[in-house]
């Protein structure tokens, strides 16, 4: 055996023994967790220990071997199938007796890394003196090792892939590269390479455009290539951060080896190592990728992510807030009242998700006894108050309690969805009213004969003394006039043109109402007058102005169920 081959065998066997020792160590003990530990607990333990023994930070003797043990243990326990195999057989590959070995020939022991003895497997038998010369422990027995793989796989005639990939995370290389790569390369999973953990979603260009770009949710993204070291360590940190901010943050990974052009287009291609980005809305409303360059610790990364959550809610002071809706605003408005000095995380998240559907505000208040808070009819904090596009105020929720971030975001999202539907219904009614309003003219001297002349059997006049009263009457008469059309054919008048509708500004036309009542109904801000020009008779309605009551009054007029009075004089309009 020449010197070069002997040195390689010494190196191979030494590393192989380390692998065997690592595999015989209970992964639960390595990570310091119970056998019934959940994945969350296992991830935390792995993250803590990997930070402690990472070769880049821990230069103590034995740290690298300990780091390998930690990665090997996590690789077993984080994979459901491997963990089940280990629990059943003591080996993640499901091969009973692997760790203990099997008695070999000549009183020695045989270990298998992939498969067992048979054709194509090289066996090396070492006498006690030979074993000692290669750095092993002396003894009375010889040892027989079997390396999986067929002859011709490598220059030494035995396959080393399993040993090195399991321990160092390396593997075969393309183009005739060394099969012993991995000393200065990947520190990925100690079994077959994984592109990303099952809990981290793989992102491609289609997913990015459909679910990330300009969607209002903050994303934590990892760009990597499988050959870079540190992937698994970084992934565990991202998982923990995403878990602690579940509901406010989503996490994904982009394999720039398979998504090369996509990564280059985004400018996130990793070079010396994996890169971490946050899809943030801080810089612009459309969102952009911001790279994280600080120490890769959970606490620091979490703070960075929180800083980059959306901020589309405007911080206001209640004493200076315009509660009346602007005529230029087409979106409903929502305001959060809380005791927080800064906009709460939940509200920031919602302001990103609903930024195109609502106008967001938030204000700091100290007590519900505040006069401005009482004015809003809020009885407990935190509270959400909303205004429809038409200015109508609604107290959406008070005394909000938060179980966890995700459930709170889900609950308040449902609340906003419901308020949005209400706003759409109000908008539809307003559009219908605006269309119908064009059919209800304001009574003037120039149109009096056409609207309320003797050719009209009944004229329904809505008299108002304020703009609010006018708006109310316009809306009600517009709706009722449409419903009343079907009744006109059954009425005593027998014509679709038997009833006309109009509005009267009582402040400008006081003489018109004096023709019906001596006081001119001055005590009423709004009223209805049913006027029969041919008979000079009228009937007045001074009750509650609701759509239902007004419809009932007009129906009674049409059906002859209302008693009419004689007018004092013929009404005129200037």
CATH number of 3-176: 1.10.287.110
pLDDT at 286: 86
Beta strands in 272-343 (DSSP E): 275-280, 288-292, 313-315, 333-338
Q: Please name the residues in contact with 559: beta carbons below 8 A apart, sequence gap of 6 or more.
A: 487, 490, 491, 492
Q: What is the DSSP letter of 443?
A: P
Output the six-digit token pair for 32: 């310091």
Residues 194 and 442: their CA atoms lie apart, in Å, by 76
H or E element: which one contains 505? strand 499-505
CA distances to 190, 459, 466, 474 from 440, in Å? 80, 11, 17, 8
SS3 of residue 280 by DSSP? strand
553 burial class (0-12, 13-18, 19+ CB within 10 angstroms)? buried
Distance between CA 538 and CA 360 in Å, rounded? 51
What is the spatial distance between Cα 563 and Cα 545, in angstroms, rounded to a whole number? 20
Identify which of 23, 25, 32, 49 has the alpha carbon closest to the alpha carbon of residue 190: 23
Instruction: Please state which CATH number belongs to domain 314-435.
Output: 3.40.30.10
Indicate the class that CATH gives domain 201-307. alpha beta
Whole-number Å distance between alpha carbons of 419 and 282: 27
Tell me whether domains 201-307 and 314-435 share a fold: yes
Q: So where are the chain's domains? A: 3-176, 201-307, 314-435, 448-566
Q: What is the DSSP letter of 209?
A: I
Which pLDDT does position 480 carry in this prediction? 85
The pLDDT of residue 362 is 96
The confidence score (pLDDT) of residue 324 equals 66
**Sheet containing 122-126, strands listed edge to edge, beginning at the edge strand earlier in sequence:** 102-103, 109-112, 143-147, 122-126
> What's the pLDDT score for residue 5?
53
Peptide bond just before 382 cis, omega within 30 deg: yes
Reading phi first (left if > 0) and then psi (alpha if -120 to 50, else beta), residue 216 is in left
pLDDT under 50: residue ranges of the chain: 11, 13, 15-17, 19-23, 95-197, 327, 485-497
> What CATH class is the domain 448-566?
alpha beta
Nearest to 354 by CA among 333, 385, 336: 333
Q: Whose CA is closest to 43, among 169, 156, 184, 198?
A: 198
Count of CA atoms in the C-beta half-sphere (13 A) of 475: 17
Query: In the sheet where 537-541 sits, what is the strand order?
Result: 499-505, 458-464, 526-532, 537-541, 565-566
């Amino acid at each position: 055996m020449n010197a070069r081959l002997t040195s390689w065998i010494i190196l191979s066997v030494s590393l192989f023994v380390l692998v065997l020792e690592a595999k015989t160590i209970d992964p639960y003990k390595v990570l310091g967790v119970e056998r019934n530990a959940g994945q969350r607990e296992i991830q935390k333990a792995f993250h803590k220990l990997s930070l402690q023994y990472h070769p880049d930070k821990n230069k103590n003797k034995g740290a690298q071997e300990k780091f390998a043990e930690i990665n090997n243990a996590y690789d077993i326990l984080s994979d459901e199938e491997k963990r089940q195999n280990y629990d059943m057989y003591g080996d993640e590959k499901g091969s009973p007796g692997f760790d203990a070995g099997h008695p070999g020939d000549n009183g020695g022991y045989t270990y298998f890394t992939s498969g067992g003895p048979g054709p194509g497997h090289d066996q090396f038998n070492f006498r006690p003196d030979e074993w000692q010369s290669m750095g092993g422990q002396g003894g009375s027995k010889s040892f027989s090792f079997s390396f999986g793989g067929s002859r011709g796989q490598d220059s030494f005639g035995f396959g080393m892939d399993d040993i090195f990939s399991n321990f160092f995370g390396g593997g075969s290389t393309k183009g005739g590269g060394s099969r012993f790569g991995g000393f200065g390369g990947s520190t990925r999973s100690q079994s077959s390479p994984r592109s990303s953990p099952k809990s981290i979603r793989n992102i491609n260009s289609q997913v990015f455009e459909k679910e990330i770009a300009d969607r209002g949710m903050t994303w934590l993204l990892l760009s990597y290539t499988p050959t870079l070291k540190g992937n698994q360590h970084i992934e565990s940190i991202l998982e923990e951060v995403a878990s602690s901010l579940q509901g406010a943050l989503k996490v994904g990974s982009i394999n720039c080896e398979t998504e090369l052009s996509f990564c280059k287009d985004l400018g996130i291609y990793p070079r010396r190592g994996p890169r971490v980005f946050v899809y943030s809305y801080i810089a612009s409303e459309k969102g952009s990728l911001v790279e994280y360059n600080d120490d890769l610790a959970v606490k620091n990364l979490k703070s960075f992510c929180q800083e980059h959550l959306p901020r589309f809610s405007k911080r206001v002071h209640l004493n200076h807030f315009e509660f009346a809706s602007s005529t230029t605003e087409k979106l409903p408005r929502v305001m959060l009242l809380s005791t927080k000095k800064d906009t709460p995380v939940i509200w920031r998240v919602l302001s990103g998700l609903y930024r195109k559907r609502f106008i967001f505000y938030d204000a700091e208040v100290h007590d519900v006894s505040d006069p401005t808070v009482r004015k809003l009819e809020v009885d407990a904090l935190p509270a959400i108050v909303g205004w429809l596009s038409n200015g109508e105020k609604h107290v959406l929720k008070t005394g909000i309690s938060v179980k966890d971030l995700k459930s709170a975001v889900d609950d308040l999202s449902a609340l906003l969805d419901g308020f949005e539907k209400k706003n759409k219904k109000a908008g539809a009614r307003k559009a219908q009213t605006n269309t119908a309003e064009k059919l209800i003219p304001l009574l003037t001297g120039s149109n009096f004969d056409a609207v309320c002349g003797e050719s009209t059997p009944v004229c329904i006049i809505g008299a108002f003394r304020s703009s609010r009263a006018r708006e109310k009457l316009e809306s009600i008469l517009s709706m009722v006039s449409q419903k009343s059309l079907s009744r006109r054919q059954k009425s005593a008048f027998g014509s679709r043109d038997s009833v006309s509708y109009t509005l009267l500004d009582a402040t400008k036309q006081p003489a018109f109402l004096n023709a019906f009542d001596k006081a001119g109904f001055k005590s009423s801000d709004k009223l209805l007058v049913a006027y029969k020009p041919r008979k000079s008779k009228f009937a007045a309605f001074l009750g509650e102005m609701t759509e239902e009551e007004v419809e009932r009054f007009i129906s009674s007029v049409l059906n002859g169920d209302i008693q009419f009075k004689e007018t004092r004089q013929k009404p005129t309009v200037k």
